[in-house]
Chain A
């Protein structure tokens, strides 16, 4: 068994898998971070990701192009994000409860759309194996030829590159641009932002829509990136893990990168070890990344420091 493990941990494919499995978490978490910093709890990323996954499959099927799939995925994610925006920005409802409702709704909606689009009309269930156009890895010239590293980092799906590039990009926007300053101020002290003429409502809507866009892309990475089809509940809690990564990373882009890498690693480990047929029920290994998530939060994070206005609806005339 030891030699088998050694084989896993010395294989290039394993580390390429870590990077690949990290990417959807990272895409979603980078989107979520922006809304989080504007004071919105992004517990709804799970549903947005699922909508992205079905959107990508449907779009790719109808347009017969990956690009079409991506556009649909972003729109689907943003659709759910917009509903979420209405609930927690305009209505001022409890954000966690709204997010739970939307996540459950997305679970049903995505399965329904899948059945409507792909089912055998007579039976009402999907009987054939559905296969839609999907992404292919793109090898980066020169960098991709570096031994070992090239295969791990630079021979990946295009969305994987985007996920990792999003980290410095989001950092730059948050800390070096005027819109970033607005986002941060709205998340910490919306009334102060309001008194200098910043529209709290607009900043929060835009931030949430960005989350939907990114989580939608993360979903696309699952359905038309790693596979070429949709499966019911295929996000399987990754939206929640992305949320956990935000907390783990203390709302800082590079901290979140570390968090998602940790969870990507755990995911890659469980996939490989499952294949070893050890005398441990496979369910344990399926649960493994979630156990790591829990332990990481308990052991390493300590007291979380949230954006001060996190989860609080903004009402101007409330004293």
Chain B
């Protein structure tokens, strides 16, 4: 069979990084082809080359057997290539219809013809089983529906090849199944799909063939029927991976963190937390599961004192910290790993050493009478760098030059060096490679075994399941249910994440 798309020896370098190194890839008509690899393996860069966002440094792209030049997205669209980016390329204040027709000539040029566009979009949506309301502003739609808009945008442009970049990252397990159904329907109709992912199970479920990438190179392309997750993981990481973390049994102590009916507003001044009640005890990890944007950020921020609580109480070790200053909360022994290490967690232009002492520089022995104690700080940082395996030439390197994994190690080393009573970790492994992820997770389990209470907020369900002693599911600012990890059932969690309480086992909330 003639290939639809063929890439030959594609190379793309960014300053200091080889993102794609002589990559070959072939996509057949009507196949679902997974592109599997860790963050930073070069999957997205490769697809951005195909879609004209980047220009490859060398190599050739063949479309239906003919070499083509794709200088910009417009060229790719003209060929019949559609891409759904991981961060949606939708304009939030515009309506669904406006977003879909954006950039296309109108039949009544120069006037917009939204009415006939809406009608066409409805018809198209129906024919693919993707119901949509064309006149609603996109920002009002849930993420799953926004993704649908992105897919329709590509179909409306008559795409024959649909590139989906990490499409399941923002979906609940139920929505993922919906998406898979739709993708299979596309395949029936002869569309080809490139499915970018780093999740092994998903890739095994949905794809016909799998291409594994590592460090900018293609490791192998093989049919899904002739491989297994274990083999894929090894190809992806380059070594044997232990997907499971050893965890000694949990021995919960006194209540460290207690939230009582906490309410708070989001940045848009809409209710983000709607009466959250939760306890975390010493020596246990409580995981918050949920789809991104359901109040996780706000939850972490109210505990850290970064967001105003409008109602309810927060107590740490029995002391009321509701709407206290962050500094006072830190002094009580609360550590915080923010979801966005680059903006909140670190001062990127500051050195590793300055970041490591970022929360303790103003107290002895780090400083005396307002003077920083250089000798002590140096020793302290060298120790932290060694014990936490932070890969940096020395402590005086600006932290922005470190890799994501090492940056996160700096954050975690700083927070754990305070010997906290409570650690609030929000998305602690987001965007990290498997090695760093393993390390960060092990550190948290160690801290927990040493008696720290840990609130783990993560949108990676795997992470919550493998680390937590108890799991709370958050949906639209409410805790839908709390269960012990031992009795957690994936399907039930999935339903709760989607906001359905129908099958909630009464469980044993508040006790471990």
B91 touches A189 (CB 8 A): yes
Which chain B residues border A198 with CB–CB below 8 Å?
A: 102-103
- Roughly how many angstroms separate A197 CA and B153 CA in the complex, as a whole number? 13
Tell me, rounded to whole Å, the shortest Cβ–Cβ distance linking B327 to chain A: 27
Contact B109 A178 (CB under 8 A): yes
Q: Does B22 contact A (CB under 8 A)?
A: no
Does A204 lie at the interface of the complex (its beta carbon under 8 Å from any beta carbon of B)? no
Tell me whether B92 and A308 are in contact (CB under 8 A).
yes
Asked if B77 contacts A189 (CB within 8 A), the reply is no
User: A151-185 interface mask toward B, CB cutoff 8 Å, 1 = contact, 0 = none?
Assistant: 00000000000000000000000001111111011
Query: Of the 9-residue stretches B82-90, B313-321, B420-428, which lies at the interface with chain A?
Result: B82-90
A178 to B98, CA, bound (A): 10
- Report the count of interface residues on A (CB-CB < 8 A): 22
Give the residues in chain A near B93, CB-CB below 8 Å: 184, 188, 308
Asked whether B72 is an interface residue with its Cβ less than 8 Å from the other chain, the reply is: yes
Residues of A within 8 A of B83 (CB): 195
Would you call B249 an interface residue if the criterion is a C-beta within 8 Å of the partner chain's C-beta atoms? no
Contact A196:B94 (CB < 8 A) given known A177-B111, A178-B106, A189-B89:
no
Q: Give bound CA distance, A178 to B109, whole Å.
A: 7
Whether a CB of chain A sits under 8 angstroms from the CB of B325 is: no
Contacts of A197 in B (CB 8 A): 72-74, 77, 103
* A192 interface residue per 8 A CB criterion: yes
Q: What mask results when residues 76 to 119 of chain B are scored 1 for a CB within 8 Å of chain A, else 0? A: 01000001010011111110001101111110011110000000
Return the contact of A185 from the options B94, B105, B153 (Cβ within 8 A). B94
A308 neighbours in B (Cβ, 8 Å): 92-93
Decide: B92 and A181 in contact? CB cutoff 8 A: no
With A196-B103, A197-B77, A316-B53 as contacts: A178 and B110 at CB distance below 8 Å: yes
Q: Is A83 an interface residue (CB 8 A)?
A: no
Task: Give Cα A268 to B85, complex, Å.
Answer: 54
Q: Are B112 and A192 in contact (CB under 8 A)?
A: no
A192 contacts B74, CB within 8 Å?
no
B89 lies within 8 A of A191 (CB): yes
Closest to A178 in B: B106
Please tell me if B54 contacts chain A, counting CB pairs below 8 Å.
yes
**Is there contact, CB below 8 Å, between B91 and A185?**
yes
Within 8 A of B (CB), among A183-221: 184-185, 188-189, 191-198
Query: What CA separation (Å) do A179 and B106 show in the bound complex?
Result: 10
The reply to whether the CB of B51 lies closer than 8 angstroms to some CB of chain A is yes
Is A317's beta carbon under 8 Å from chain B? yes
Asked if A177 and B110 make an inter-chain contact with CB atoms under 8 angstroms apart, the answer reads yes
Residues on the B chain within 8 Å of A194, using CB = 53, 72-73
Interchain CA distance A181-B153 in the complex, whole Å: 16
Contacts of B72 in A (CB 8 A): 194, 197
* CA A192 to CA B90, docked complex, whole Å: 6
CA distance A180 to B101 in the complex (A): 13
Q: List residues 44-64 of chain A with CB under 8 A from any CB of chain B.
A: none
Given contacts A197-B74, A316-B53, contact A192 B89 (CB under 8 A): yes
Known: A308-B92, A317-B54. A195 touches B112 (CB 8 A): no
Which residue of B is nearest A185, CB measured? B91
Alpha-carbon distance between A176 and B110 when the two chains are bound, in angstroms: 9
Q: Establish whether residues B89 and A188, one from each chain, have CB atoms under 8 Å apart when the complex forms.
A: no
Q: Chain B residues near A316 (CB, 8 Å)?
A: 53
**Nearest CB of A to B342, in Å:** 12
CB proximity of B91 to chain A, nearest CB, Å? 4
Q: How far apart sit A194 and B103, CA to CA, in the bound complex (Å)?
A: 9
Q: In whole angstroms, how far apart are the Cα atoms of A62 and B94 in the complex?
A: 48
Q: Out of A182, A191, A195, which one reaches B51, CB within 8 Å?
A: A195
Closest to A188 in B: B91
Which residue of chain A is the closest to B104 with respect to CB atoms?
A196
Check if B102 sits within 8 Å of A193, measured CB to CB. Answer: yes
Judging by beta carbons under 8 Å apart, are B112 and A196 in contact?
no
A185 touching B102, Cβ below 8 Å: yes
> CB < 8 Å: which of B88, B92, B104, B109 contacts A188?
B92
CB distance from A149 to the nearest CB of B (A): 33
Closest chain B residue to A187 by CB distance? B91
Residue of B nearest to A184 (CB): B94
The 8 A CB mask of A103-131 against B (1 = contact, 0 = none) is: 00000000000000000000000000000
Q: CA separation between A263 and B120, bound complex, in Å?
A: 46
Residues of A within 8 A of B106 (CB): 178
* Chain A residues in 8 Å Cβ range of B103: 182, 185, 193, 196-198
**Complex partner residue of B112 from A178, A189, A317, CB under 8 angstroms:** A178
A141 to chain B, nearest CB (A): 31
Which listed residue (A179, A184, A191, A317) contacts B110, Cβ 8 A?
A179
Q: Is the CB of A181 within 8 A of B112?
A: yes
Partner among A179, A181, A191, A317 whose Cβ is within 8 Å of the Cβ of B98: A181
Task: Provide the B481-508 mask, 1 if CB < 8 A to any CB of A, else 0.
Answer: 0000000000000000000000000000
Residues B92 and A195 in contact, CB atoms below 8 Å apart: no
A179 to B94, CA, bound (A): 14
Write out the residue numbers on chain B whose beta carbons fall within 8 Å of the beta carbon of A176: 111-112
B47 to chain A, nearest CB (A): 12
Q: How far is the CB of B185 from chain A (nearest CB, A)?
A: 24
A104 CA to B112 CA, complexed, in Å: 40
Q: Which residues does chain A contribute within 8 Å of B111, judged by CB atoms?
A: 176-178
Q: B458: shortest Cβ distance to chain A, in Å?
A: 23
Tell me how far the C-beta of B77 lies from the nearest C-beta in chain A, rounded to whole angstroms. Answer: 6
Q: How far is the CA of A195 from the CA of B77 in the complex (A)?
A: 9
Contact B110 A195 (CB under 8 A): no
- Chain A residues near B51 (CB-CB < 8 A): 195
Residues on the A chain within 8 Å of B91, using CB: 184-185, 188-189, 192-193
Q: Which residues from chain B contact A185 at a C-beta distance below 8 Å? A: 91, 94, 102-103
Cβ–Cβ contact B77 & A196, under 8 A:
yes
Q: Are B53 and A195 closer than 8 Å at their CB atoms?
A: yes
With CB as the reference atom, state the residue of chain A lying closest to B100: A196
Q: Which residues on A sit within 8 Å (CB–CB) of B77? A: 196-197
Tell me the minimal C-beta distance from B124 to chain A in angstroms: 16
In order of increasing CB-CB distance, the 6 nearest A-B pairs are A197-B74, A196-B103, A192-B89, A189-B91, A195-B73, A195-B89
7 further A-B pairs in the complex, CB-CB below 8 A; given A185-B94, A196-B77, A308-B92: A176-B111, A185-B91, A192-B89, A192-B102, A194-B72, A196-B104, A197-B72
13 A-B pairs whose Cβ atoms sit less than 8 Å apart in the complex: A178-B105, A181-B112, A182-B102, A184-B94, A185-B91, A188-B91, A191-B89, A192-B89, A193-B102, A195-B53, A195-B85, A195-B89, A196-B73
Q: Interface on B for A, CB 8 Å cutoff?
A: 51, 53-54, 72-74, 77, 83, 85, 88-94, 98-99, 101-106, 109-112, 153
